[in-house]
Structure 1
Amino acid sequence: MTTEYGRYAEHYGPAREPAGQRGRERGHLLPAGLRAPFEGRSWREFAYVLTSLPISVVLFTYAVTMVALGAGLLVTFLGVPVLAAALAGCRGFGTLERARARGLLGLEVAEPEPLRPRGRGMFAWMGAVLKSGTSWRHLLYAVLQLPWSTFSFVVAVNFWVYGWALLTYPLWFWVFPMYGGQGGLQLYGDAQHSVYLDNPFEIAVTAAVGLLFTLATPWIVRALTTVDRLMVHGLLGPSKLASRVVELESGRGVVVDTAAADLRRIERDLHDGAQARLVNLAMDLGLAKEKLREDPQEAARMVDEAHGEVKTALQELRDLARGIHPAVLTDRGLDAALSSVASRCTVPVRVEVDLAERPAPAIEGIAYFTVSELLQNVSKHSGARGASVEVWRAGDRLMVQVVDDGAGGADAAKGSGLAGLAGRLDAVDGILVVDSPAGGPTRVTAELPWRGTVG
């Protein structure tokens, strides 16, 4: 099983298709090239091409007419609302086009960023429409869609019609001698010569050519609709800047939630651990003080027990501080810090850190806690006999990989550990890739941005 997290997971290879779909592909007796003319996907793509032409005519006419009218009226104030209405109408057509692409092409395109008028009233709305890059991209789509849809319509319809007509020619060639007074479909003719497709060999060749056209047409239409997919995704979807803002807002939410969870964990550990132990220690010392004159030996015994409690409380506080940010990481870097984590793992762990310099403290801390959590998973769930940790730099990325020889089958859907870890990495433009087939081994790779230490 391979699980990929992060915005850039596609860098690790193509997306894996659903298991059910893979099963359906294996269940077909005919190869894809032979069954393509009869598949629903091919007919839906052909329907998209057919409907694109009339829609693009209406959209182009509306956009050009309104923009030309608005530009002509700019000498008066009326040109501004007309231009705003033109762009708003193009955005409305964009909603229709996204729905059509989703229904016929299976293309999921997110809604673009909404208008954010600075103020209330019609003037604020018109200003927001005219300043929005999304509105102008919708207008560009309206202009480009007509010539492209015309070209794709002509190509698709000709290939489709000629392919099926030639393929079925043996079924309808009799129409010519019976009603046309000629031997068959005329291939060539002038004043002296005429060539008709009327004998069995020519009819068979015609059907064979039609078969080639019919088999090739779905792939030609698919290539044409690929351009439509790019246009819809690039011009009618959210801009890269807006998508990045959404990602940063989401990442900020993850960071805030993670920080709040860490604070609750620290508070719980202090309340249930060191704080409770110190309260008991204070009570024991109070009792020892009262017994000091009456029973010095008993008081000494109680003080000795309190001394042991102090050591335990100090160890708990050290462990808690190490969980917040270990001093060895600050003082000596990832190599020493990860070696310390590995020494506490229940299985032997080989640690190899190949870094010529240290990354930024924030990135270093995330890498440390990533390895700590992964090694905890190895200790608790993997049943491994050994594990390895490797850290290296690849260009402007810090790579961390943890491998164990356990039972495998790690799945983020079964628990929140890996999913939460992936969310933390994603908040800093990181990636988490989990490759854990049943039977093992499990390989978890974390990729973080390299941000060197300042100065």
Structure 2
Amino acid sequence: MATEYGHGYGRRNGASDWGAEGNVGRRFRLPAGLRAPFEGRTWRELAYVLLSLPISVLMFTYAVTMLALGAGLLVTFLGIPVLAAGLAGCRGLGALERARARGLLGLEVADPEPLRVRKSGPMAWMGAVLKSGTSWRHLLYAVLHFPWAVFSFAIGASFWAYGWALLTYPVWFWLFPMYGGQDGLQLYGDETHQIYLDNPFEITVTALVGLLFTLATPWIVRALTLVDRLLVHGLLGPSRLATRVVELESDRGVVVDTAAADLRRIERDLHDGAQARLVALAMDLGLAKEKLAEDPRAAAQMVDEAHGEVKTALQELRDLARGIHPAVLTDRGLDAALSAVASRCTVPVQVDVDLASRPAPAIEGIAYFTVSELLQNISKHAQATSAAVDVWRSEDRLMLQVMDNGMGGAEAGANGSSGLAGLAERLDAVDGILVIDSPVGGPTRITAELPWRG
């Protein structure tokens, strides 16, 4: 099993110190609060808020018009195609919104499940559109997003415009006395009193207020777009049920591939191991039978050698059976089975199993083979002098943790070819999780989480 242990491997997934724009190792001299008004993210989010108003007006008008027209025409046959066309249009507008959120907010939302049209023809298509929950969620988004877009546009545009206008007032306040015949920006005025911002103190205070507005605007806009993110993700993405179906289909494929790989491994071990020895044993016994009459001593020696081959073949068959499902695991549970695995490890292993009852047999088997593979990794790659295995139950989850004091640097290969990557796929097939904590230089701590299903 090829697992990446050793130098040249940093933190898991290449994690490092990231700047605001995702540049590794970047260092900023200005704090986040001061540089936020000038960051690209702020301007993209502001553009999203400003564009939301005209787009939401279009979507709201289209959705309400088509819904009202279709509902009004339901007394005739025309109502159904009008409703179907309206929902289909909402799905198209939803695709536009997902693209806009992806480009301006950096929000990656998967496309919803496609229409399931079981028969050809316009009637089947209209029925699929009307029965699709995705279509109605897109219609709901078009209706709900309009009032929120009006609110966010008013707040975002006001803070942005007033902030920069007040901040730059010392630069352009000369406009009023020169071209408007006024002393400055008027705060209040009636028949008897007028208050202008025209002296240095008032101009300075105005600029400071504008600075506060300008510094606060990025965070206000960010809070506004948070609601947009929730709307897009919740109404325009795939439903939880559809996402779960996709996950189960993927997990089923992993399980099938794993089972096929295990069958190929068993066939290869039988063909290259016990089967080859049994064939050689049969040939040796045949030769011994022929020599029994003419050379009993040579025949006896050949039988003795065949007896040794039988013992070796039996040991290989026992090892193969243990690799499929060890009898000690079925009879005595994880504690005894993991202790047996730990005794075969090349470094001392402390095993601590704290379970009041046994999980489901399938989960118990996966836990056994997970610990077994991790201990093989330690024996082959970690250069450790000690290791420990902890097993416990946390609510409805079975927790496994394998630790060693080796050289560290373990990570699941990005191409999915390493042993840890394959192990993570097996755990994921049963809703399990594999977490790797292995800095270069060690120690390594690998935690696996499995459903209990007792």
Superposition TM-score, scaled by structure 1 size: 0.95
Aligned residue in 1 for 2:436: 434
Shift of 1:178: 1.0
1:121-148 per-position Cα deviation (integer Å, ceiling 9, x unaligned): 1111111111111000000000011100
1:56-205, aligned counterparts within 5 Å? 56-205=56-205
Q: For residue 413 of structure 2, give the secondary structure of its aligned residue in structure 1.
A: helix
Q: For residue 391 of structure 2, give the secondary structure of its aligned residue in structure 1.
A: strand
Q: Matched residues in 2 for 1:2 and 1:257: separation?
A: 30
Shift of 1:28: 1.0
Shift of 1:118: 2.3
Say whether the 8 Å CA contact 2:435–2:447 is kept in structure 1. Answer: yes
Q: For residue 191 of structure 1, give the secondary structure of its aligned residue in structure 2.
A: coil
Candidates 440, 445, 448, aligned match of 2:447? 445
Q: Matched residues in 2 for 1:286 and 1:25: separation?
A: 72
Q: Matched residues in 2 for 1:231 and 1:70: separation?
A: 25
Q: Matched residues in 2 for 1:19 and 1:303: separation?
A: 71
1:277-292, aligned counterparts within 5 Å? 277-292=277-292
**What letter corresponds to residue 206 of structure 2 in structure 1?**
T
Q: Matched residues in 2 for 1:248 and 1:406: separation?
A: 36
**What letter corresponds to residue 436 of structure 2 in structure 1?**
V
Q: Matched residues in 2 for 1:161 and 1:117: separation?
A: 50
**What letter corresponds to residue 418 of structure 2 in structure 1?**
S
1:166-315, aligned counterparts within 5 Å? 166-315=166-315
Q: Matched residues in 2 for 1:17 and 1:59: separation?
A: 42
- C-alpha change, 1:25 and 1:185, in structure 2 (3 Å) is farther
Q: Matched residues in 1 for 2:346 and 2:431: separation?
A: 31
Q: Matched residues in 1 for 2:258 and 2:244: separation?
A: 21
Q: Matched residues in 2 for 1:352 and 1:392: separation?
A: 8
User: Does 2:385 match 1:400?
Assistant: no
Q: For residue 413 of structure 1, give the secondary structure of its aligned residue in structure 2.
A: coil
Aligned residue in 2 for 1:10: none
- C-alpha change, 1:19 and 1:343, in structure 2 (3 Å) is farther
Q: Matched residues in 1 for 2:250 and 2:89: separation?
A: 31
1:388-422 per-position Cα deviation (integer Å, ceiling 9, x unaligned): 00000000000000000000000212752011100
**What letter corresponds to residue 113 of structure 1 in structure 2?**
E
Q: Matched residues in 2 for 1:25 and 1:40: separation?
A: 19
**What letter corresponds to residue 90 of structure 2 in structure 1?**
C
**What letter corresponds to residue 41 of structure 1 in structure 2?**
R
1:44-97 per-position Cα deviation (integer Å, ceiling 9, x unaligned): 000001111111111111110011010011011111111011100000001000
Q: Matched residues in 1 for 2:182 and 2:78: separation?
A: 66
Q: Matched residues in 2 for 1:160 and 1:69: separation?
A: 39
Q: Matched residues in 2 for 1:118 and 1:388: separation?
A: 55
Q: For residue 428 of structure 1, give the secondary structure of its aligned residue in structure 2.
A: coil
Shift of 1:187: 1.0
- C-alpha change, 1:25 and 1:392, in structure 2 (3 Å) is same
Say whether the 8 Å CA contact 1:405–1:441 is kept in structure 2. Answer: yes
Say whether the 8 Å CA contact 1:42–1:218 is kept in structure 2. Answer: yes
Shift of 1:446: 0.3
Shift of 1:37: 0.6
Q: Matched residues in 1 for 2:98 and 2:27: separation?
A: 32
Aligned residue in 2 for 1:330: 330
Q: Matched residues in 2 for 1:84 and 1:18: separation?
A: 50
Say whether the 8 Å CA contact 2:16–2:25 is kept in structure 1. Answer: no
Say whether the 8 Å CA contact 2:66–2:83 is kept in structure 1. Answer: yes
**What letter corresponds to residue 358 of structure 1 in structure 2?**
R
Q: For residue 115 of structure 2, give the secondary structure of its aligned residue in structure 1.
A: coil
Say whether the 8 Å CA contact 2:18–2:26 is kept in structure 1. Answer: no
- C-alpha change, 1:282 and 1:370, in structure 2 (3 Å) is same
Q: Matched residues in 2 for 1:379 and 1:201: separation?
A: 75
Q: For residue 412 of structure 1, give the secondary structure of its aligned residue in structure 2.
A: coil
Aligned residue in 1 for 2:7: none
Aligned residue in 1 for 2:343: 343
Aligned residue in 2 for 1:391: 391
Q: Matched residues in 2 for 1:19 and 1:316: separation?
A: 52
Q: Matched residues in 2 for 1:185 and 1:450: separation?
A: 70
**What letter corresponds to residue 423 of structure 1 in structure 2?**
E
1:281-319 per-position Cα deviation (integer Å, ceiling 9, x unaligned): 000000000000010000000000000000000000000
Aligned residue in 1 for 2:4: none
CA RMSD in angstroms comes to 1.4
1:178-225 per-position Cα deviation (integer Å, ceiling 9, x unaligned): 111121101111222111100001000100000000000011000000
Say whether the 8 Å CA contact 2:18–2:25 is kept in structure 1. Answer: no
Superposition TM-score, scaled by structure 2 size: 0.95
Q: Matched residues in 2 for 1:251 and 1:441: separation?
A: 31
Shift of 1:16: 6.1
**Percent of residue pairs identical:** 80
- C-alpha change, 1:246 and 1:354, in structure 2 (3 Å) is same
Say whether the 8 Å CA contact 1:2–1:433 is kept in structure 2. Answer: no
Say whether the 8 Å CA contact 1:3–1:435 is kept in structure 2. Answer: yes
**What letter corresponds to residue 225 of structure 1 in structure 2?**
T
Shift of 1:18: 7.0
Aligned residue in 2 for 1:411: 411
**What letter corresponds to residue 127 of structure 1 in structure 2?**
G
Q: Matched residues in 2 for 1:273 and 1:26: separation?
A: 56
Aligned residue in 2 for 1:424: 426
Say whether the 8 Å CA contact 1:2–1:434 is kept in structure 2. Answer: no
Q: Matched residues in 2 for 1:113 and 1:3: separation?
A: 32
User: Does 2:53 match 1:53?
Assistant: yes
Q: Matched residues in 1 for 2:303 and 2:119: separation?
A: 71
**What letter corresponds to residue 401 of structure 2 in structure 1?**
Q
Q: Matched residues in 1 for 2:213 and 2:16: separation?
A: 29
